[in-house]
A and B are shown apart, each in its own frame.
Chain A
Amino acid sequence: MTVKGERPHALTKAPFHYCPGCTHGIVHRLVAEVIDELGIEGKTVGVASVGCSVFTYNYFNCDMVQAPHGRAPAVATGVKRARPENVVFTYQGDGDLAAIGMGETVHAAARGENIVAIFINNAIYGMTGGQMAPTTLPGQVTQTTPYGRDVKTAGNPIRVCELLSSLDGVALAERVTVDSVKNVRVAKKAIKKAFEYQIAGKGYCIVEVVSTCPTNWGMSPADAIQWLRDNMLPYYPLGVYKDVGEGEQ
């Protein structure tokens, strides 16, 4: 018998704590499959951030360090500079990466820090119960934008890949989603390319995964996927925003 859906070795046996319909589980699996395929579990160090994904240190079988809120790029910089032979990735949500940690993100990217950032953009703070995130859409209702995000007072969402793609240190900035089999395949390819670029020493790579949060969006998983397609993707178009290419620089 051939088992097609076997658990990647790079994932521990710990059951995920994520809500039904949350896309963290898919993205964890994709990262783990890439680690398995590249045979790098033994030399990979993951950096867990603060947010729903804080417990990634329980889920990935590689060595893990947990960073203060927003500081994952700085912690990853420390690990990578201490151990350039290791493969280092951060796993961050939108509040972590684009609000409290935007300074660390921009500067790690500008330095061309040779790390991978897996960026989960679900337009909301999940762990604290659904507050406005830096990526919350205009008009979107959250716990702290109960009348919908009014950009005149609450400011505008940040398109992270577009922003970072202007920096010379960035090797790859790609936005993907995991709403369909086809898109899951594209997402995995992007994640794999990011890890390969790091191994080749190309610089900072970010894969932004436009994601759902059915619980805090107040929707069923299926409705959340549809809402993502109807609302998130027009504002956050999928695609490659920067790619230095496979060849020598």
Chain B
Amino acid sequence: MNEKVLMKGNEAIAEAAIAAGCRHFFGYPITPQTEVAAYMSKRMPKIGGVYLQAESEVASINMVLGAGAAGVRVMTSTSSPGISLMAEGISYIAGSDVPCLIVNVQRGGPGLGGIQPSQADYFQATKSTAHGDFHILVFAPSTVQETVDMISTAFDLGDKYRMPAMVLSDGMLGQMMEPVILPEAKDPDKDSKNWAVSGHGNKREHNVVNSLYINPQELEDLVKARFERYKIIQENHQMAEEYLADDADIIIVAYGSSSRVSRSAIDAARAQGIKVGMIRPITLWPFPEKFINKHIGHTKAFLSVEMSMGQMVDDVRLVVNGRAPVEFYGRTGGIIPTPKEVLEQIIRINGGVQ
């Protein structure tokens, strides 16, 4: 097993991707993900990999499409405004059934917004990444170690289901340092994808990677087949952590950085005798419905805590579906809620402290 090392979140993303056998990185500079690209530019040339700084996020995501179509493990990383620019490419990648990894180290928006941590891209990641009927896998780690572990899972599931995967980080997780154990390094695999465009070598029919289907019936059939795959993913790959949830009267639903704050608030509330727990989604798509459904009945209220004006709360409400009240607390624009603020919300929902 590898030794424990102290790493910055963004650099850990890069090293974890290399350990997962990724040798192709295309990106464009943007704060607060810069360290991912800087780290890749240092490492890739030393290990026979490709680091290429594109002229825009529009170009980098299309380079990802090209390399992914050619059958190699490929990734890009950016921050919120960059994802908006990549939207077109992500739709084409999804529509062409090409796997890839996209990292979004979120910052405040809309527009140029700010450069401080945010979770305001939840809708974009899980529901409206770009035009057309499609989903991407979305992972939301809450520690540097979990980020490292998620990278290889994201690559593997992306390959398995031939779809883009996103790791949704934020400026706080990207910039902070924590001890991590890196996974054992895997060798790059260039040759296992029999659908890839890598030259037919006069041994097979030509492969075509494409998202254009002029015949509506053909397109509907294809989209439906893709949604059958999505159903399998929803059935098998929901991930969440439950924290003190089994006896909880109040369950906080929070992911990533806001779950770290919520955990502190929960500990403080427990010390005051309030039975509060947490469901921490690790996959945002598929949304971990099973974990919420499990706690319907004993839970008197749910509280979605986010660094946004309230986006994931919609999914919590859809799952709870009127079976319990669903409340929301959030800060936005790059502000991280404090444990004290979250504790106040817990006490308010609890009707004070007994």
Contact = CB atoms under 8 A, between A and B. Distances in A.
Interface in A68-99: 68, 71, 74-83, 85-86
Interface residues of B, number: 42
Nearest to A71: B62
Interface of B: 24, 26, 50, 52, 54-56, 58-60, 62-72, 74, 88-89, 92, 96, 190, 196-203, 206-212
A28 to B, nearest CB: 14
Nearest to B199: A43
Nearest to B52: A81
A67 interface: yes
Interface residues of A, number: 37
Given A47-B66, A65-B197, A104 B52 contact: no
B59 A82 contact: no
A63 interface: yes
Contacts of A12: 206
Given A63-B208, A77-B52, A78-B66, A103 B58 contact: yes
A62 B70 contact: no
Contacts of A41: 200, 202
Contact of A64 (B24, B52, B54, B210): B210
Given A65-B209, A68-B92, A81-B24, A75 B200 contact: no
A43, A62, A83, A106 — most chain B CB neighbours (10 Å): A83
Interface stretch (A53-61, A136-144, A150-158, A187-195): A53-61
Contacts of B196: 63
B66 A42 contact: no
Contact of B67 (A57, A82, A103): A82
B199 A75 contact: no
Given A48-B210, A104-B62, 11 more contacts: A41-B202, A44-B199, A47-B66, A64-B197, A67-B92, A68-B65, A71-B62, A75-B69, A79-B70, A83-B198, A104-B55
A45 interface: yes
Given A82-B67, A103-B59, A57 B24 contact: no
6 contacts: A42-B202, A65-B65, A71-B65, A81-B24, A81-B52, A82-B72
